[in-house]
Amino acid sequence: MFNTHFLFASLIWGSIGVGYFIYGKKQSSWVPMVGGLLMIAASYFVMSAFLMSLVGIGLMAAIHVLLNRGY
């Protein structure tokens, strides 16, 4: 469970999630805030670095699409 790849991926995606959460809170936008929380949760609960990266990329894409559509 605690191999190098998992810890590094968890650090990266958790940090990006915290950044999205802080950005959403300061901008009063719920989309990046919820996306950031989901990224933080994925960094804790997904036990594979590859799957965690796929989930993180998917959440970033979803946040981007939702913000471009005006949510």
Overall domain count for the chain: 1
Distance of CA 8 to the CA centre of its chain: 14
**Which DSSP symbol is given to 3?**
-
Average pLDDT of the segment spanning 45-63: 95
Whole-model pTM: value is 0.90
> What does the block give as tokens for 21?
């959460």
pLDDT band at 2 (very low <50, low <70, confident <90, very high): confident
The predicted structure's pLDDT at residue 58: 97
The predicted structure's pLDDT at residue 1: 62
Convert 16-26 to b/e letters by CB count within 10 Å (16 or more is b). bbeebbeebee
Q: Among candidates 70, 23, 21, 22, which has minimal Cα distance to 42?
A: 21
Domain that holds residue 31: 4-68
